[in-house]
Amino acid sequence: MSKNIMDYETVELDDNDSCVVIIDQTKLPGKTEIIRLYTAQEIWDAIYLLKVRGAPAIGVAAAFGIYVLAKQIGKETKDFETFYVRFQEQKNYLNSSRPTAVNLSWALNRMEEVCLKAGREDKKPLAEILEILHKEAVEIKEEDTWVCKMIGEHGLSLVKPGDGILTHCNAGQLATSKYGTATAPIYLGQERGYNFRVFADETRPLLQGARLTAYELHSSGVDVTLICDNMSAMVMKNGWVNAVFVGCDRVAANGDAANKIGTSVVATVAKRYGVPFYVCAPTSTIDYDTPTGNEIKIEQRPAEEVTEMWYKERMAPEGVKVFNPAFDVTDNELITAIVTEYGIAKAPYRESLEEIRKKKEEGRRSNEN
């Protein structure tokens, strides 16, 4: 019996072989190719070239990646300070692969923190430090699964059986460890017989909605209809959409949210037609140090993604200028609510996101006790 795409792990660690194992998402849906990443260059390329993508999955891949690289460094030195210098170099290198998704730096910083505590504060031998790094990386992945399920539970409270849902890009299982963020309410609803009708934007220019979201939802038996990006207004005007769920790569302290290019267009159209627009955001994507969306650095992608990728022949004139930002920022006034694993935040977002932060801290303290 052939495996369904949902039967594969998006990101795995093969500790025995000392590598990160991922689905090469650039080959989907035509081919399911599992690749193994051993070197810093291979891990960097996989993130930059979108072989692994989606903010949570990038974070998990980075955590596993820096652990794999730490094992390699540990074979060359047993001195912690020498080890740490090399560790930091590799961490900074991986962090340079994509600038907008905060989960990348969040996961790498978290790994660095446990490394420093074990090495400098606790003076543990390098073998134990590597065990601690391994445990932390595994916990990051396990937490991501829990986070996605909780986002799904909270998101499900915002819709009712039979609703029409529109989503943009891919914030599904292929972008996370399980369930996805924006698709988590859809998958939980599917398990509970909600019979949602889902519209998936194709998401130009990289077609994550067409290649990935439509693929995984269809493979799961969800009633999904693929639409071009410029059709969202029509399906909303027709009354076919009761809610929009999107993921995000970074949320500013004021509630502005950066997500795949075209998201702000969907939000604007939803506002026009009175459709609630929900951003599904793990708290790891909330950047309290970034005041507004204006300060979020937007990644610029190669022109070829617009002019020739996916085409048999180049579909734009040679030499034409191309503007290809990977993300845009949706203003908080267009966002009905931000759904996190610790609850739902609504305007004013500075206050509600602070409340979410407090709930997270309380949860962390109770777990420690």
Report the catalytic residues: 249
CA-CA distance, 55 to 284, in Å (whole number)? 9
Which helix (DSSP H) or strand (DSSP E) does residue 166 occupy?
strand 164-167
Q: What is the dihedral of CA 181, 185, 188, 189, to 10 degrees?
A: -160
**Pick from 197, 273, 172: which is nearest to 232 by CA?**
273
CA-CA distance, 194 to 160, in Å (whole number)? 7
| Burial of residue 295, with CB atoms counted within 10 A of its CB: 0-12 exposed, 13-18 middle, 19 or more buried | middle
**Pick from 140, 141, 177: which is nearest to 10 by CA?**
177
Q: Which DSSP state fits 211?
A: I
Three state DSSP letters for 88-150: HHHHHHHHCCCCCCHHHHHHHHHHHHHHHHHHHHCCCCHHHHHHHHHHHHHHHHHHHHHHHHH
98 in Cβ contact with 108 (< 8 Å): no
Q: What is the dihedral of CA 276, 339, 249, 257, to 10 degrees?
A: 50
Contacts of 26 (CB under 8 A, 6+ apart): 49, 50, 51
Between β-strands 19-23 and 34-37, what pairing exists: parallel, antiparallel or unpaired?
antiparallel
